[in-house]
Amino acid sequence: MYCRRCGEKAEIHLRRHRAAFCSKCFLEYYDRQVNRNIRKEKMFGFEDRLMMVVSGGKDSMALWDWLLKKGYNVTAMHIDLGIGEYSKDSRELVEQFSQDWKAELIVVDIKQEYGFTIPSLARKTRRSFCSVCGLVKRYLFNKVALDGEFNVVVTGHNLDDEAATLLGNTLSWQVGYLARQAPVLPSDHPKLKKKVKPLFTLTERENLAYVLINGIEFINEDCPYSKGANSILYKETLNRLEEANPGTKQRFLATFLRKGRKYFQAYKEDLKLHECENCGQVTTAEVCSFCRLLKRLQQK
C-alpha cells in the first residue's frame, strides 16, 4: 500500500478516509485537521492565553506538543489525583516534558491542596470513583484558569471520546448534556472560561501515531479505577460498529453537531447560574457540587 499524497510506502492506514499515508504525510494530514478545527470553530488565536489540561496520556501529550511547536501561548495544567503509581508516573512524565521544552506547567496536587486523594474521597463519600474524579477535575479546570487569568481551557478530547459521550447521553436522553456537547463550550458567565477540544475529529489511533512518530513519551495505561466504566463499554460498542462500517463514529458525531444539537438548545437556556456562596465558583445551586462534596467528606 502506498501513501495517497506522495506515492511512497504507506505506514498508517486510515480506513474511515479510505487513505494511507507515510509518516511525513500523516503529520501534514494531522496538522491540517487540528488547524482546520481551530479556525472553523473559532477556538482561539495566538493572542489568547491557553491553559492546556495534560494528563500524560497520548491525546493530551500530542496536543501539548503540537501547540508548542506552533508557537501558541500555552501553559499546561496537570492534576495529581493521588492514584498511587499511576499518578506518580503521570506527573513525572509531564514534568519531564515540561523541562525538556522549557514549557510552563502548573501542577495541582489535590492531597496537598485539599487533604484528600480521589480514591479516599470516593470511598469516604460512597460515590462512584468516576463521578467524583470528573467533578473534581471540572471544578479545578475552571478554578485554575480563572485564578491564572487564562482566556481558554484546552483539552485533548478526541473523536472516540466525543462519540462515546454522545452515545451515552443519547441512550439515557440526557438533554442538558446533549445541549452542551460541542467542540467549543463558550463562557456563559464572567467566571466561566471558554473550553475547546481541537482534537475532536481525530481518533485515539491517530493521536497514537502522532506521538510515536514524534518520539513523545506518554502513559500507556488506563486509570486503574476505570475498569467497568460505562464510557469504556460505549467505546467498545462503537469500535465494533466502526470495524464493520468505517466512518461510523465520525458520521455519528458530525451529524449530531450539524443537525441534532440545535433541538436541545432550549434545555441549555433554562439553566440559572449563581456564584457558590462558599468558594465563588459558578454553579446552578447556592453551593457548588465541589463544596458540597467537601462538606460531606468533613462530616464523615
pLDDT (tens digit per residue) in 45-56: 999 999 999 999
pLDDT at 245: 97
* Mean pLDDT (whole number) for 169-198: 94
| Residue 171 within a domain | yes
What band does 270 get if pLDDT is binned at 50, 70 and 90?
A: low
Q: Quick check: 25 pLDDT over 80?
A: yes
Which of 29-33, 73-77, 202-206, 223-227 comes out lowest in average pLDDT?
223-227
| Residue 169 within a domain | yes
Task: Extract the C-alpha cell encoding 10.
Answer: 504507506
What band does 11 get if pLDDT is binned at 50, 70 and 90?
A: very high
% of the chain at pLDDT higher than 70: 99
Q: Quick check: 191 pLDDT over 70?
A: yes
Q: The domain that contains 229 carries what CATH number?
A: 3.40.50.620
pTM for the structure as a whole = 0.94
pLDDT at 127: 87
Task: Extract the C-alpha cell encoding 283.
Answer: 454553579
| Residue 300 within a domain | no
pLDDT tens digit sequence for 94-107: 999 999 999 999 99
* Mean pLDDT (whole number) for 250-273: 89
Single out the residue of 150, 187, 183, 201 nearest to residue 42, CA to CA.
183
User: Which residues are paired to 105 by β-bridges?
Assistant: 76
144 or 266: which carries more pLDDT confidence?
144
| Residue 5 within a domain | no
What band does 228 get if pLDDT is binned at 50, 70 and 90?
A: confident
Single out the residue of 117, 89, 265 nearest to residue 182, CA to CA.
265
Q: Which residue has the cell 484528600?
A: 116
% of the chain at pLDDT higher than 90: 86
| Residue 290 within a domain | no
pLDDT at 281: 94
Q: Phi/psi at 229 (nearest 5 deg)?
A: -65, 145
| Residue 276 within a domain | no
Q: How many domains does the chain have?
A: 1
Q: Quick check: 300 pLDDT over 70?
A: no
| Residue 33 within a domain | no
Within 8 A by CB and 6+ apart from 95, the residues are 78, 105, 107
Domain that holds residue 186: 44-263
Single out the residue of 87, 72, 97 nearest to residue 211, CA to CA.
97
What band does 274 get if pLDDT is binned at 50, 70 and 90?
A: confident
| Residue 28 within a domain | no
